[in-house]
Chains A and B, each alone.
Chain A
Amino acid sequence: MSRYLRFLVPLAIFAVIATFLFKGLDMNPREIPSPLIGKQVPEFSLPLLEQPDTQITNKDLLGKVYLLNVWATWCVSCRAEHETLVQLGRMNKVDIYGLNWKDERAAAQTWLRQLGNPYAANIFDKKGRTAIDLGVYGAPETFLVDAKGIIHYKHAGPVNPDLIRDKILPMVAELKKKG
């Protein structure tokens, strides 16, 4: 029997490695938990993208569960995720606020007209000051914030329908239940 078993050893070794690789797919080695999770959204006071004369502050957003999505027209991945956000917006399950990051106002407005506007409102962060406070290191990034203004979840990179269905919406439902 050892004569046959011997030749199964390579296959067995590979099976072990493959198991780890499959497990590895669900893990994210880059996932450095954001230090902001469990903390308040940093204070800001910035103009709206749509109305340059109107200021919006972090206090205006208190009282509801919302997503804060960092985006820009120069960001190719943002274009890739935009359709997903538009669909999420149509579901009316959670408000999405945009943080338009280091962008041109005209270009951003054209983008929303052409591709659809899923946002309840857009915060126009021309200088990128608030993005720094949020610890943004690349667009797009999405934060989930509760009614008290506390950040519960952060996703770096484009969101996809699976992530929204399996992770974001269940968290939203739970946060809304808590009030």
Chain B
Amino acid sequence: MIPEIGHYALILALSLAIIQAIIPLAGSYTNTHSWMALSRPLVWGQLLFLTLSTIVLANAFLANDFSVIYVAQHGNTKLPDLYKISAVWGAHEGSLLLWAFLLAAWSAAIALFSRNLPLPVVARVLSVMGMISIGFLLFLLLTSNPFDRTFPVPFEGRELNPMLQDPGLAIHPPLLYMGYVGFSVAFAFSIAALLGGKLDASWARWSRPWTTVAWVFLTVGIALGSWWAYYELGWGGWWFWDPVENASLMPWLVGTALMHSLAVTEKRGAFKSWTVLLALFAFSLSLLGTFLVRSGVLTSVHSFASDPERGVFILIFLLVAIGGSLMLYAWRAPYISGGGRFDLISRETFLLGNNLLLSVLAGLILLGTLAPLIYDAMEWGKISVGFPWFNKMFVLLTPFLALLIGVGSISRWKHTDAAFLVKQLRVAFVVSLAFGLLTLLPLFSDGNLMVGLGMGLAMWVVTSHLVNVKERLKHKAGFNGFLRDLSGGGRSYYGMILAHMGVAMFIVGVTMVSNYGIEQDIRMSPGDTANIAGYDFKFEGVSEFPGPNYNAHRGRFLISKDGEQIAILLPEKRTYFVQTRPMTEAGIDWGLTRDLYVSLGESLGGGDWSMRLYYKPYIRWIWIASIFMGLGGLLAITDRRYRTARKRASSTSTLTAGSSTPAAAESHS
């Protein structure tokens, strides 16, 4: 009986979504206050019913109710409770439910934090959110009902995919989805603005914090997925250019462009139609990502069981959502007024460069991801686009991004003197160039140009921002001035600095691990010692070890350097009882400057095993970088400007709103 309550709650949520999509929107045109005011209670109602639905499904897993097909397929009595919960979003139906639930949660957040927005705007935004919700709820109910029953009831469930039985992956999908779904807010704001024909600075200011929050979730979610792939898949890599990874990277790149473009629109009123387009694309790519995983159009290690009926539904949904919004764009955008003028050397120009580079990167990934499909459809044969192509494209374009970061963040809106830029940045430039050249010396890299380029660029990002901070603090009395700045209106500025430091760390991590990483595939007998990068890996043998729902072979390694023991690594190879495929658990000794990584291969008989041993310098910096970026984003949205600005927004909608903040903050944030 209980699962039917969950099912029923879904139907109720759909009914509310339909009303929400129509009535408040109609009210905004007929200026009927009560219709518009209906939007908030409707959103709360949806959230209530979807929460109920989600709890019901979680409860079915905890109670081992195998009469529910979804639970029978992904649950098991022996599954630890944590994974029973994460099994809720461990496969297609449940992850869609999570999508719908998070969409309702974001809608409720808008309802809650929009007290200072004009009611017609709130009504339109929430109506658009309701439309998206209709799509997802219909998809759930028509093709992917997680509450479907089966009879007779199986004795035991088939268990969650062992790959997903991991704490990192238990929270990875919710974070990622928070990002995907979060871009729906910027999307809804844009559609509402296009409908209302009012795209102005206050629109950009309302969208900005929402976009940043979604971006933070997406950043951390992607990084978590990358970290998981690193320690769980046993290949020692951190990014595989898998279609599903690409599907998350595309909205991230466009979302990053959107954040920067919104800044221009808010501050200068420029780029309006471009910013709107980015907002539409960021969410469209999130939807496309969802489609690619589930439709069966592309193969991927992540693919959920695919089904053509679902594929058709999602495609029609995409067509309506993306096609419809782009049509609206084509109709309305020509009437958007141009923004403030700017000179060639100005912050606007540099941010435009950043936008174009990020969009081109996203476009290239889209092309690479869809290439196999395009080839197949055109009957040119079957191809796969892999690692080397994507890597080449990224190495080709990202250095320009890194260069722009330094120049863009220090230049002024509207017009910057070339002489000022040269004066500010010459020291940073010389230091970075020298540092890059230094790393080319035999002692470091023996003339490896990639290392020189990477390290030089990382140094450039750091030093140009140091100059930037110094310039800002010149007029503020020392450290106390800095603290006052931080507690006042400077947070979005320092958030930017923090996030850009993350970029520098990321460059260091990628450069080091790509050029100095060592990998060895070897056969070892108990007692053997292998030496990699000065570390001795002593293999002591493999023993069996029982887990709650698996059996493990656990290897034991003593790691020492110069005769001194520094770590014991226990890599495992697990065989899960239900889904009998073997899973690796790498043994990792992590450190800020290097990871030592052991992964068990196959038993070769007589106690011998094939092994993979890795030395991964600075790989942690890649993930720590994403934490910096995330913290930077969080710091930025706590900026006082958004709280005070919100109050002001309802009374004024001129492009110069925000001019009451101090001039210094103006030029930097």
The reply on B323 being an interface residue by CB < 8 A is yes
Q: Which of B158, B295, B334 contacts A25 (CB 8 A)?
A: B295
Q: State in angstroms the CA–CA spacing of A40 and B72 once bound together.
A: 37
**Residue pair A29, B323 in contact (C-beta under 8 Å):** no
Q: Which residue of B lies closest to A8 (CB)?
A: B330
With A20-B374, A23-B377, A76-B69 in contact, do A29 and B329 touch (Cβ < 8 Å)?
Answer: no
Q: State in angstroms the CA–CA spacing of A18 and B330 once bound together.
A: 17
Chain B interface, DSSP helix/strand/loop, else mixed: helix
Q: State in angstroms the CA–CA spacing of A14 and B374 once bound together.
A: 14
**Residue pair A18, B376 in contact (C-beta under 8 Å):** no
**Residue pair A7, B296 in contact (C-beta under 8 Å):** no
Q: Which of A18, A20, A76 contacts B377 (CB 8 A)?
A: A20
Q: Of residues B280, B299, B373, which shows the largest number of chain A Cβ atoms within 10 Å of its Cβ?
A: B373
The reply on B333 being an interface residue by CB < 8 A is yes
CB B286 to nearest CB in A, in angstroms, measures 14
Q: Which residues of A contact B334 (CB under 8 A)?
A: 3-4, 6-7
Stretch of B14-22, B161-169, B308-316, B587-595 lying at the A interface: B308-316
Q: Which residues of B contact A79 (CB under 8 A)?
A: 150
Q: State in angstroms the CA–CA spacing of A27 and B379 once bound together.
A: 11
Q: State in angstroms the CA–CA spacing of A25 and B373 once bound together.
A: 10
Among residues 1 to 21 in chain A, which have CB atoms less than 8 Å away from a CB atom of chain B?
A: 3-4, 6-8, 10-11, 14-15, 17-18, 20-21
Q: Which residues of B contact A6 (CB under 8 A)?
A: 334
Q: Which residues of B contact A28 (CB under 8 A)?
A: 296
Q: Which residue of B lies closest to A28 (CB)?
A: B296
CB A20 to nearest CB in B, in angstroms, measures 5
CB A167 to nearest CB in B, in angstroms, measures 13
**Residue pair B308, A17 in contact (C-beta under 8 Å):** no
Q: State in angstroms the CA–CA spacing of A21 and B315 once bound together.
A: 8
Q: Which residues of B contact A76 (CB under 8 A)?
A: 69, 72-73, 150, 154, 158
Q: Which residues of A contact B329 (CB under 8 A)?
A: 7, 10-11
Q: State in angstroms the CA–CA spacing of A10 and B326 once bound together.
A: 7
Q: State in angstroms the CA–CA spacing of A3 and B373 once bound together.
A: 33
Q: Which of A14, A22, A23, A30 contacts B323 (CB 8 A)?
A: A14
The reply on A114 being an interface residue by CB < 8 A is yes
Q: State in angstroms the CA–CA spacing of A14 and B323 once bound together.
A: 7
Q: State in angstroms the CA–CA spacing of A23 and B312 once bound together.
A: 11
Q: State in angstroms the CA–CA spacing of A128 and B96 once bound together.
A: 36
Q: State in angstroms the CA–CA spacing of A17 and B374 once bound together.
A: 9
The reply on A35 being an interface residue by CB < 8 A is no
The reply on B434 being an interface residue by CB < 8 A is no
With A4-B334, A28-B296 in contact, do A14 and B315 touch (Cβ < 8 Å)?
Answer: no
CB B157 to nearest CB in A, in angstroms, measures 10
Q: Which residues of A contact B319 (CB under 8 A)?
A: 18
The reply on B322 being an interface residue by CB < 8 A is yes
Q: Which residues of B contact A24 (CB under 8 A)?
A: 295, 297-298, 373, 376-377
Q: Which residues of A contact B372 (CB under 8 A)?
A: 29
Q: State in angstroms the CA–CA spacing of A18 and B326 once bound together.
A: 13
Q: Of residues B298, B311, B329, B330, which shows the largest number of chain A Cβ atoms within 10 Å of its Cβ?
A: B330
Q: State in angstroms the CA–CA spacing of A11 and B321 once bound together.
A: 12
Q: State in angstroms the CA–CA spacing of A28 and B374 once bound together.
A: 13
**Residue pair B72, A22 in contact (C-beta under 8 Å):** no
Q: Which residue of B lies closest to A6 (CB)?
A: B334
Q: State in angstroms the CA–CA spacing of A8 and B273 once bound together.
A: 12
Among residues 320 to 374 in chain B, which have CB atoms less than 8 Å away from a CB atom of chain A?
A: 322-323, 326-327, 329-330, 333-334, 366, 370, 372-374
The reply on B291 being an interface residue by CB < 8 A is yes
Q: Which residues of A contact B277 (CB under 8 A)?
A: 10
Q: Which residue of B lies closest to A26 (CB)?
A: B308
In this complex, how many residues of chain B approach chain A with their Cβ under 8 Å: the count is 39
Q: Which residues of B contact A25 (CB under 8 A)?
A: 295-297, 308, 311-312, 315
**Residue pair A22, B315 in contact (C-beta under 8 Å):** yes
The reply on B318 being an interface residue by CB < 8 A is yes
Q: Of residues A14, A27, A114, which shows the largest number of chain B Cβ atoms within 10 Å of its Cβ?
A: A14
The reply on B152 being an interface residue by CB < 8 A is yes
CB B93 to nearest CB in A, in angstroms, measures 13
Q: Which residues of B contact A18 (CB under 8 A)?
A: 315, 318-319, 322-323
Q: Which residues of A contact B330 (CB under 8 A)?
A: 4, 7-8, 10-11
CB A108 to nearest CB in B, in angstroms, measures 14
Q: Which residue of A lies closest to B372 (CB)?
A: A29
Q: Which residue of B lies closest to A79 (CB)?
A: B150
CB A150 to nearest CB in B, in angstroms, measures 26
CB A107 to nearest CB in B, in angstroms, measures 10
With A20-B374, A21-B291 in contact, do A11 and B327 touch (Cβ < 8 Å)?
Answer: yes
Q: Which residue of B lies closest to A3 (CB)?
A: B334
Q: Of residues A4, A7, A27, A76, which shows the largest number of chain B Cβ atoms within 10 Å of its Cβ?
A: A7
CB A79 to nearest CB in B, in angstroms, measures 7
Among residues 22 to 67 in chain A, which have CB atoms less than 8 Å away from a CB atom of chain B?
A: 22-25, 27-30
Q: Which residue of B lies closest to A18 (CB)?
A: B319
Q: Which residues of B contact A114 (CB under 8 A)?
A: 152
Q: Which of A14, A22, A23, A29 contacts B326 (CB 8 A)?
A: A14
**Residue pair B376, A29 in contact (C-beta under 8 Å):** yes
CB A30 to nearest CB in B, in angstroms, measures 6
With A3-B334, A17-B370, A20-B370 in contact, do A11 and B299 touch (Cβ < 8 Å)?
Answer: no
CB A78 to nearest CB in B, in angstroms, measures 12
CB A116 to nearest CB in B, in angstroms, measures 14
Q: Which residues of B contact A14 (CB under 8 A)?
A: 284, 322-323, 326
**Residue pair B377, A15 in contact (C-beta under 8 Å):** no
**Residue pair B152, A29 in contact (C-beta under 8 Å):** no
CB A17 to nearest CB in B, in angstroms, measures 7
Q: Which of B284, B312, B333, B376 contacts A27 (CB 8 A)?
A: B376
Q: Which residue of A lies closest to B376 (CB)?
A: A27
Interface string of B59-80 (1 = CB under 8 A from A): 0000000000100110000000
Among residues 68 to 126 in chain A, which have CB atoms less than 8 Å away from a CB atom of chain B?
A: 76, 79, 114
A-B contact pairs, 10 of them (CB 8 A): A4-B334, A11-B329, A17-B366, A18-B322, A18-B323, A20-B373, A23-B373, A24-B377, A28-B296, A76-B154
Q: With A11-B326, A14-B284, A25-B312 given, name 14 new contacts (CB 8 A).
A: A7-B330, A10-B280, A10-B326, A11-B330, A14-B323, A15-B323, A18-B323, A21-B297, A21-B373, A25-B315, A27-B297, A76-B69, A76-B154, A76-B158
Q: Which B residues fall within an 8 A CB radius of A?
A: 69, 72-73, 150, 152, 154, 158, 273, 277, 280-281, 284, 291, 295-299, 308, 311-312, 315, 318-319, 322-323, 326-327, 329-330, 333-334, 366, 370, 372-374, 376-377
Q: Which A residues fall within an 8 A CB radius of B?
A: 3-4, 6-8, 10-11, 14-15, 17-18, 20-25, 27-30, 76, 79, 114
A-B interface, 7 closest residue pairs, ranked by CB to CB distance from nearest? A24-B297, A11-B326, A23-B377, A7-B333, A29-B299, A7-B330, A8-B330
